[in-house]
C-alpha cells in the first residue's frame, strides 16, 4: 500500500513537471518583410526584406492581457540607386536593424487567435557601396530609436504559429541637412508575415 502510494505520488509529480515543461513559451521566428514608405524609398523601390526573431512569453493572455519580450534582427537590401544625389552609375544601400521590444497580447473568443501591440527600441546601421552626398546623421545614426508594432497571431498547433504585423519606427529627419529621398527623412515602416516555432522543454 505504501509502495503504491509512493508510485502514485511520483507519477503525479512527474506529470506536473511535464505539464509545466511543455508550457515554456520560448519561440523563434522567420519573417518575410514587405517594405513600406521611407524604407521602400531607401531600398530604391525594392519591396522585400527579411528578419529573424526570438521571443519569450512572460504571461499568457489567459484572462484578458498577457505580455512577452522579443529580440529581432532585420536586413534590408536596396537596389542600385541613381540620380543627382548619387555617383555616376548609382550606389547600393542596405541597412541592418537590431530590435528589442515588449508586446501586450490579448485574449479573444476565437481559439488560437491573439492580437498584440507593443513598443520597441531599434538600432539601425546603414551602409553604402560608394560615397555620395547623403547627410551622415540621417544615414549612419546608430542611436536608439523607438517604434510601435501592431499585429495578430494564430496558433496553428502547440508547435507552430503564424502572424502578420505592422511596424513603424523613427530613425532620423534632419531639417538642416539636404533632403534625399529615402535617406533624409527616413522613418522605416514595414509589414511582416512570420512563421514561429514554439519550443517545449
Residue ranges per domain, the chain? 27-199
CB of 102 within 8 A of CB of 71?
no
Mean pLDDT, the chain, integer: 78
23 DSSP assignment: T
Question: pLDDT value at position 46?
Answer: 79
Q: Using alpha carbons only, give the angle 90, 96, 102 rounded to the nearest 5 degrees.
A: 145
Question: pLDDT value at position 11?
Answer: 37
CB of 96 within 8 A of CB of 74?
yes
DSSP E strand boundaries for the chain? 26-36, 48-59, 65-81, 91-106, 113-128, 145-155, 160-169, 188-199
173 DSSP assignment: -
pLDDT, one tens digit for every residue, the chain (201 residues): 454 454 344 434 433 433 443 445 899 999 999 999 888 887 777 788 999 999 999 988 877 899 999 999 998 876 655 555 554 455 667 788 999 999 999 999 999 999 999 999 999 887 655 555 555 545 566 688 899 999 999 999 989 999 999 999 988 766 666 666 666 677 889 999 999 999 976
Question: pLDDT value at position 69?
Answer: 97
Cell of 60: 499568457
Question: pLDDT value at position 127?
Answer: 67
CB of 21 within 8 A of CB of 198?
no
Q: What is the pTM of this model?
A: 0.77
Domain 27-199: give its CATH architecture: Beta Barrel (2.40)
Residue-by-residue DSSP string for 123-150? EEEEEESS-----HHHHH--S-EEEEEE
Amino acid at each position: 500500500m505504501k509502495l503504491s502510494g509512493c508510485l502514485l505520488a511520483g507519477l503525479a509529480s512527474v506529470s506536473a513537471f511535464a505539464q509545466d515543461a511543455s508550457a515554456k513559451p520560448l519561440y523563434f521566428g522567420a519573417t518575410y518583410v514587405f517594405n513600406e514608405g521611407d524604407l521602400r524609398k531607401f531600398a530604391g523601390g525594392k519591396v522585400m526584406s527579411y528578419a529573424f526573431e526570438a521571443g519569450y512569453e512572460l504571461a499568457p493572455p489567459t484572462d484578458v492581457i498577457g505580455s512577452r519580450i522579443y529580440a529581432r534582427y532585420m536586413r534590408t537590401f536596396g537596389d542600385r540607386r541613381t540620380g543627382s544625389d548619387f555617383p555616376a552609375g548609382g550606389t547600393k544601400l542596405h541597412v541592418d536593424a537590431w530590435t528589442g521590444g515588449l508586446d501586450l497580447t490579448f485574449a479573444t473568443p476565437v481559439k488560437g487567435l491573439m492580437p498584440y501591440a507593443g513598443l520597441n527600441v531599434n538600432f539601425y546601421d546603414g551602409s553604402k557601396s560608394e560615397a555620395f552626398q547623403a547627410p551622415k546623421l540621417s544615414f549612419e545614426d546608430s542611436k536608439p530609436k523607438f517604434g510601435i508594432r501592431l499585429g495578430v497571431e494564430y496558433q496553428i498547433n502547440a508547435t507552430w504559429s503564424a502572424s502578420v504585423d505592422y511596424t513603424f519606427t523613427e530613425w532620423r529627419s534632419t531639417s538642416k541637412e539636404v533632403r534625399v529621398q529615402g535617406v533624409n527623412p527616413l522613418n522605416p515602416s514595414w509589414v511582416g508575415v512570420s512563421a514561429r516555432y514554439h519550443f517545449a522543454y
